[in-house]
Structure 1
Amino acid sequence: MAHVGVPRGTARKRRSVALLATGVLTLPVLAGCTSDSEGPTSVAVPQDIAPASRDRVADGSTLTWAIDAVPATLNAYQADADSATTRITGALLPSLFPLDARGEPKLNPDYLESAKIIEQEPKQVVLYKLNQQAVWSDGREIGAPDFVAQWRALSGKDSAFWTARNAGYERIEKIERGKDDLQVRVTFSKPYADWRSLFSPLYPKEVTGSPGTFNDGARATLKNTAGPFRLRSVNKDKGTVVLDRNPRWWGNEAKLESLVFRAVEPKDRTDALTAGTVDVADVDATTANGIALAARYRGGNGGPPAHGPGADITPAAALRSWALAHGSDEEAAEAAQLAREKNREAVAVYAAEQKSLQGFVVRKSLEPAYTQLAMNGESGALSDDRVRRAIARTLDRQELADAVLKPLGLPAKPPGSHLALAGQPAYKDGSGALGDQDTKEAQALLADAGWTVGGAVRRTEDTKAGSEAEKKASGEATDKASAKATDKAPEKPSAKATDKASEKAAEKEEKGEEEDDKASREEGTYIVGDDKPGDGPAGTGVTAQDKGPAGAYAPAGTAAPAPASVKSRIGKGGKPLTLRFVLPSGPGSQPLRTVGQKIVEMLDAIGISTQITKVDDESYFKDHIASGDYDMALYSWPATAYPATDGRPIFSKPEPATDGSLLVEQNYTRVGSDHIDQLFDRAVSELDANASRDLLKQADARIWAAAGSIPLYQRPQLVAVDKQLANIGAFGFAAPRYEDIGFTGRQAAGSPANRKK
């Protein structure tokens, strides 16, 4: 699936934030997919990986797996590690507690005989007993020296190590060997509930033992590994990372002889699948729809094709074309023959593409991540929790989830937690702390905060006689601008004009200059709820080629939104409540814009104006979300098995820095409280799992009540997979078992998996 990746700050593990980029696809509904509101009884959408026993999977063969790009680093603990880093190192390095299908960490017997807390008082001690057969690819046993080296590198005490995370490692007081190096005693200075998150992946001491090898040596290669595969080559020019079977692997031998990760941009994946250069690829709904259509394509059977070139030619039209091509009118015959030849060529090309795509199937599930509406509470109207809660209670989350997931045949129950997803033990629907959709309650909250219907209307009778101080205090413009605003347009939005787009939009409201209007259009800014009549497509600044949702970025010929009276706007002191909604503009972000448009319509219905600004995907996160240059935005958080550790930096209360700025960690909404922080601190130190989860559920209820972020829907996961492959596809929560992946039959010569490797 195409994603807009955005880097983040530090946590236990850098979890890539990715923006939803799926379209619409009609596929059968997954059987037995339901979701309850309570933790242990809630059901996760199952994996879709074509499970097969190892005896049904053939030995040998090569599988090619599409990734977005060759990773910048193979060190998963560095800031620029990405999903490709995780995917590749998962086949190469030890993971002591991989996640199962419910998102729970489970002991990996390939590396551990046991791992448990053996002491709680006076200090927490965990004893790891390693598998006696576990060795690195150079033959050295995996042991205590590897644990010690990794702890020292990630503890944060030595700044020479360029690490992106140290959560948990900084709580370790010491690591000792037991009776031998296969027993590792880890003593914590403070209790740590999420101790299972540590040492996964585990790197050899040759990587973590010195800053040089940690910072630079492990970026491009890993000479010593300990997984079912070993690294053969990394070729950035060819865009490939090639893995081979590890001859020293002590577990079940990998079914594949080699595993190739090939860099293929999301927009090019249909071509790659058609050409047979990849066997597995995350895809968007458009590509998935093409695969679904290919399964129904009729070609070479004497009948008309089901779709594609020539599908709309009726028997009568075909007969007429034949008659023209063989008629006495030479000029008409020549034109008809040329048209028929072009159609035959197009049909042949399309038929070949469809035949190739018929070798693939779309595996689908829900990704362990949710998309949220984020509201920036640092300043302006959204700094008032009543306004944020009013907006949240205006949203129909079910409608938004339905818009994304129902066309895909996937369950569309909105997430009820910020810290866990359905199926995980920590899941509980805490949205009741905020309340369900209720327009009247939303309006009451706004009124309590001083934002009322008609509050955007200024008094104009005393404007000329009023003092300059009164004008400044009320935010009024000059007499001329005020008269224009009353007669023609709403007042300047209250959102901060922090970039060129906002400045131009503000100038347009104050001066009404056509030149400023043009500049605003070029920046992609459009105010929904503006009562200025007649702008239409010309006022949107969008061409017919733009693929944005109608109304927000309407193509030429699309009717403009119906103008709303300024008297129906929510406002305070003559200022309308106008929020700057920043959305990405790339083609892969179309679903986000569709959801954004629905949110705009919901807010417009209660009189809240929305200034939509579209920005490049590359700058969306760095220049807007992370920097706080937005009022509302859509982005996603991945789920985690360790919410006590991973959730705190996302929802912790921002603290002022020495330079006057805010230290927000990963809390890009800038909304938090001391109580929420205290609940996280208690949860991460509580060694009783049930007690820790109860504290997290309390924290989640307060996060809902604060209304800085509103989970909307769990993201879909669509994966195109060669039909002959087993144990691979849409994994959901679980980590892949690379050694079990393979083809269920011998690959025929010329099959997609053997072409153009």
Structure 2
Amino acid sequence: MSHDGAGPHAVTAGRVPRATDGAARHLPAGRSRRSVTRSVAFLTAGVLAVPFLAGCGSDDDGASKPLAGQDIVPAARELVTEGGSLKWAVDAVPETLNAFQADADAGTNRVAQAVLPSMFRLDAEGRPVPNPAYLESAKVIETEPRQVVLYKLNQQAVWSDGREIGAADFLAQWRALSGKNSAYWTARNAGYDRIEKIERGASDLQVRVTFSRPYADWKALFSPLYPKDVMGTPDAFNDEARRKLKVTAGPFTVDKIDTANKDVVLTRNPRWWGRPARLTELVLHAVPRDRRAAALAAGTVDVADVDPADARRIGLAAHATQSPLQGSGRASVKKLRAWALEHDVAADPAKAGRTTLRKAIADYLDEQQALRDVEVRRSLEPAYTQLALNGSEGPLADERVRRAVARALDRQELARLVLTPLGLPAVPVGSHLALSGQAAYADNSGAAGGLDTKGAQSLLADAGWVSGGPVKEQKGPVKGQKKGEKAAGAESEREGNENEPQGEEDKSDGGRDGEYIVGEDDKNGGGGKNGDGRRGEDRTGGRDDEGDRHLARQGRHGGAPGAYAPKGTAAPAAAPAAPLAKDGKALTLRFVLPSGSGSETLDSVAERISAMLERLGIRTTITRVSDESYFKDHIASGDYDLALYSWPSSAFPATDDRPVFAKPVPAADGSVNVEQNYTRVGTDQVDQLFDEAASTLDEGEAVSLIRKADARIWAAAGSIPLYQRPQLVAVRKALVNVGAFGFQTPVYEDMGFLRKGAKVSASPTGN
């Protein structure tokens, strides 16, 4: 899924899963999870009873820190040139400018952040903080008999038509998103459905919001805030706001959407009362991931999320490259082909002739020269990649088998595989609901048992899976495999070589790791029943984004991808155990992955996981499907046993994460509503803890409840967080206050080009 995610929390306030990297990007990247809800047949597993986990992970009250800081080359505004145009690569021109619609994506979110009010934005540690451009203050002033929040607005805050931002805008947005009027095609109503009334306060600059039920995540609301012109009628909400925003209130305003040139052009807002934008123009330009290095070299973009392969290429550009075209002699075709393969110059150099190879190499070298003006700024994206275990049927419907899989995984090794080659901290993610640096983070992975081979074997034996038992020959394709799908599993790919260590085929040269952030990028993954829909915005999981096109963007969403093994790294060579069997059937799991360009990282991670499971006697069959069908036809519909995709992290887990881990419930039409719980594993206890966390106004108690919910999610073993996704952003060296933002919401008015002769501290992790 992709990774154009708009930062920590997509303005759509939702999370989206991202799937991998190629598929759209497999998570509906850019879209909030809240927009992607599917109703899928589900065979539920029993409720998990683990009362001893009540305090697991919750006794650690020490504040964690982000594993990696942001990398944006910060500079004082007086050092930034007045004027200029910044061209920023996105995955696609947004289908809509309304961030609350189901097909909103990362581009939608980026536009909304630059042109619309947000009452709160996220700081570098992922905490919601008041946005002083719009708020003087916002706080809970009453709790009995009802929770009342009083917003005191910045007296200078006006819409671009000159009208004051006020209670009428809050009122219109609440009515549109409350869920009470089905004429509004909204992706979610979480939080807005708890509002009882909105009134003008003591002055026009005060807004009183009264809730019918306590709502802990009230800071997630009205970010973004649309004018009453957009929210006032269903027609304006559903249609007019898709392509135009006539009235805005940010440092930039929407000048035009140029679909022919694949541009969204934002220009400085002349009515902006805050710190003036240093840039005259901000252009979002659609560029496919595999063409971004070329676009950076050509100067058609200045900022772009890139994959590890492009990041390495940009790093190499700073150094002189020994070219086979140099010297008086004519290099042989064999030498040219070898050099082209080593530098990824041509798609199929083995079939290219001398003339074609020489031209391709010359073009590559010209681009390398141009890329010397670019550097990669890197951090960790506010999203994590997970192994999803479909608990609806088959062996994984048994909680014991899922726990055994969890205990077989060396998550530290997987994190190193992805992050160490990128120079980023290789620390496994210990929570489903927060990342290191966020208040709710605690490592609850111990609830699943940790890496424990003997414990895993014991669980499998208890579930009836016998090592070396008789297996009836299975005829035909693996269950769920469709005609035309490419299947390549641990067995089929290593047939006859089970005890041999893996070689070159196991290495990954990059690609986009769980770019599929569910929800962020998958524009085809929406629909179905939405519940509160909040997670439907691809958080995660799809092409970032990231995701994603996954959180679920999914991504999820937006973000940088990828994992890859360092050159020369081979998979563990431990001999596999004898196959496990039960009732004449072997314990074989179908691992579904996308097959498109950019999926190398997921392949590498999946192969490593398969090797780990094989040591227990669990066989995997890897099925590669098209990017277009990966999320819609497999993840969302439940047609897989194992899968890799990502979820974005949220500052509001009680609201945003509930749909992702909610217990599936029967729908009126006989199907099962899984919301965004694509593993189909959930419990009443987890649902109750989320509900309690969303309803308490005591922040400490809310954190404790979220940690308890996470411990139970770990114990149910429906999904296993692996590592925080890398965020790799290629940026023209002259640009400051832009790059890998980490958790923080970008500050668009401070971005720009460094004045000639001005000096700033060097990028700590750039090339």
After TM superposition, the score normalised by the length of structure 1 is 0.79
| 1:308 CA displacement | 3.9
2:482 partner amino acid: K
Seen in structure 2, the aligned counterparts of structure 1 residues 116 and 582 have a Cα distance that, compared at 3 Å, is same
| Residues 1:307 and 2:289 are matched in the alignment | no
Residue in 1 that maps onto 2:169? 146
Which residue of structure 2 lines up, in the alignment, with residue 708 of structure 1?
A: 718
Q: Which residue is equivalent to 1:384?
A: 398
SS at structure 2 position matched to 1:687? coil
Indicate whether 1:498 and 2:521 are aligned: no
Work out whether 1:18 is the aligned partner of 2:15. Answer: no
1:442 to 426, 448, 456: 456
Alignment partner, residue 488 of structure 2? 526
Structure 1 match to 2:150:
127
Q: CA 1:47 to 1:38, structure 2 compared with 1: closer, same or farther past 3 Å?
A: farther
Report the Cα distance in structure 2 between the residues aligned to 1:343 and 1:622, rounded to whole angstroms.
Answer: 39
Q: CA deviation at 1:661?
A: 1.9
| 1:428 paired to 2:405 | no
- The 1:283–1:533 alpha-carbon spacing in structure 2 relative to 1, beyond 3 Å, is closer
C-alpha separation in 2, matches of 1:498 and 1:651: 24
Q: 2:682 aligns with which of 672, 680, 688?
A: 672
Describe the shift of the 1:710–1:308 C-alpha distance in structure 2 as closer, same or farther (beyond 3 A): farther
Which runs of structure 2 are paired with 1:479-498 in the superposition (5 Å)?
Answer: 485=473, 491=474, 497-498=479-480
Distance in 1 of aligned mates of 2:395 and 2:582: 10
| Residue in structure 1 matched with residue 585 of structure 2 by the alignment | 575
Alignment of 1:337-736 (within 5 A): 349-455=363-469, 457-458=470-471, 485=473, 491=474, 497-501=479-483, 522-529=484-491, 568-736=578-746
Amino acid at match of 2:18: A
Paired position in structure 2 for 1:177: 200
Aligned-residue offset at 1:349:
4.1
Partner of residue 333, structure 1 = none
**Which residue of 221, 225, 245 maps to 1:198?**
221
Q: Is the 8 A contact 1:38 1:429 kept in 2?
A: no
User: Shift of residue 659 of structure 1?
Assistant: 3.2
Given that 1:3 and 1:589 are in contact with CA atoms closer than 8 Å, whether structure 2 keeps it comes out as no
TM-superposition CA deviations, 1:14-36 (whole Å, max 9, x none) = 323223549xxxxxxxxxxxxx9
Decide which moves more: 277-286 or 149-158.
277-286
Per-residue deviation at 1:604?
1.0
Alpha-carbon spacing, 1:532–1:690, altered in 2? closer, same or farther (3 Å): closer
Query: How many angstroms apart in 1 are the aligned matches of 2:396 and 2:623?
Result: 18
Partner of 1:29: none
**Whole-angstrom CA distance in 2 between matches of 1:288 and 1:676:** 40
Aligned to 1:740: 750
In 2 relative to 1, CA 37–294 (structure 1 residues): closer, same or farther, beyond 3 Å?
farther
TM-aligned CA distance change 1:75 to 1:608, over 3 Å: same
Provide, for residues 160-195 of structure 1, a one-character-per-residue CA deviation record: whole Å limited to 9, x for no partner: 000001000000000000122210000000000000
* Residue segments in structure 1 that go unaligned for 5+ positions in a row: 23-35, 298-305, 322-338, 459-475, 477-484, 486-490, 502-521, 537-542, 550-558, 748-757
CA–CA distance in structure 1, aligned partners of residues 133 and 587 of structure 2:
59
Distance 2:98 2:510 in 1: 38
Query: CA 1:693–1:534 in 2, change beyond 3 Å: closer, same or farther?
Result: closer
Q: 1:105 to 1:345 in 2, by over 3 A?
A: same
2:77 maps to 1:95: no
Per-residue deviation, residues 214-234 of structure 1 (Å, max 9, x unmatched): 000000010000000011100
Q: Aligned pair in 2 of structure 1 residues 355, 527: CA closer, same or farther (>3 Å)? A: closer
Paired residue secondary structure (2:66): coil
- In terms of mean alpha carbon deviation, does 432-441 or 417-426 score higher? 432-441
Structure 1 residue identity aligned to 2:13: K
Give the Cα separation in 2 of the matches to 1:344 and 1:267: 21
From 211, 229, 246, the equivalent of 1:223 is 246
Matched length: 634
1:569/1:177 Cα in 2 relative to 1: closer, same or farther (>3 Å)? same
Task: Name the structure 2 match of 1:330.
Answer: none
**Paired residue for 1:482?**
none
Asked whether 1:264 is paired with 2:292, we answer no
Mapped contact 1:12–1:168 kept (Cα < 8 A): no
1:185 alignment partner, SS class: strand
Residue identity matched to 1:451: W
- More helix, by proportion: 1
Paired with 2:323 and 2:718, the residues of 1 have a C-alpha distance of 47
User: What is the rounded CA distance, in whole Å, between the counterparts of 1:548 and 1:340 in structure 2?
Assistant: 28
What does 1:64-103 correspond to in 2, within 5 Å?
A: 64-103=87-126
Deviation at 1:584, TM superposition (A): 0.7
Summarize the Cα distance change of 1:161–1:73 in structure 2 as closer, same or farther, 3 Å threshold: same
Separation in structure 2 between the aligned mates of residue 233 and residue 392 of structure 1, nearest angstrom: 50
Measure how far apart 1:685 and its partner are.
0.3
Could you say which residue in structure 1 is the equivalent of 2:517? none
Which consecutive residues of structure 2, in runs of 5 or more, have no partner in the other structure? Answer: 23-58, 336-352, 499-504, 512-569, 758-767
Q: State whether residues 161 and 247 of structure 2, in contact with CA within 8 Å, keep that contact through their aligned partners in structure 1.
A: yes
Q: Which residue, out of 266, 277, 282, partners 1:243?
A: 266
| Partner of residue 231, structure 2 | 208
Of 270, 275, 278, which aligns to 1:252? 275
| Higher relative contact order, chain-length normalized (CA < 8 Å, sep 6+) | 2
Cα separation, 1, equivalents of 2:213 and 2:300? 51
**Residue 88 (structure 1) shift:** 1.2
For residue 154 of structure 1, what is the amino acid of its counterpart?
L
Q: CA deviation at 1:436?
A: 1.4
1:279 aligns with one of 283, 302, 324: 302
- RMSD, matched Cα: 3.3
Query: Larger deviation: 349-358 or 413-422?
Result: 349-358
After TM superposition, the structure 1 stretch with the greater mean CA deviation from structure 2, 663-672 or 43-52, is 43-52
Aligned-residue offset at 1:527: 3.8
What is the rounded CA distance, in whole Å, between the counterparts of 2:60 and 2:605 in structure 1? 24
CA contact (8 A) 1:309 1:350 kept: no
Q: Which residue identity lines up with residue 410 of structure 1 in the other structure?
A: L
Q: Is this contact kept in 2: 1:63–1:256, CA < 8 A?
A: yes
Indicate if the aligned counterparts of 2:11 and 2:224 stay in contact, CA closer than 8 A. Answer: no
Q: Deviations over 1:137-179 (max 9, x none)?
A: 0000000000000000000000000000100000000000012
Report the residue type matching 2:400 in the other structure: R
Q: Percent identity?
A: 61
CA distance in structure 2 between the aligned counterparts of 1:746 and 1:647, rounded to whole angstroms: 46
Change (3 A) 1:103 1:547: closer
Alignment of 1:152-167 (within 5 A): 152-167=175-190
Q: For the Cα contact (< 8 Å) 2:492–2:621, is it kept in 1?
A: no
- Give how far 1:670 is off: 0.5
**Structure 1 Cα separation of the partners of residues 289 and 210 of structure 2:** 45
SS in 2 for 1:18: coil
Contact 1:13 1:165 in 2 (8 A): no
CA distance 1:160–1:347, change in 2 (3 Å): closer
Q: Is the 8 A contact 2:19 2:631 kept in 1?
A: no
Contact 1:529 1:608 in 2 (8 A): no
Confirm or deny: 8 A CA contact 1:19 1:589 kept in the other structure.
no
What SS is found at the alignment partner of 2:743?
coil
Give, in whole Å, the separation in 2 of the partners of 1:400 and 1:227.
42
Q: Give, in whole Å, the separation in 2 of the partners of 1:602 and 1:39.
A: 33
TM-fit CA distance, 1:492:
5.7
Deviation at 1:660, TM superposition (A): 2.9
Match of 2:138 in 1: 115
Change beyond 3 A, Cα 1:251–1:603: same
Q: Between Structure 1 and Structure 2, whose CA radius of gyration is higher?
A: 1
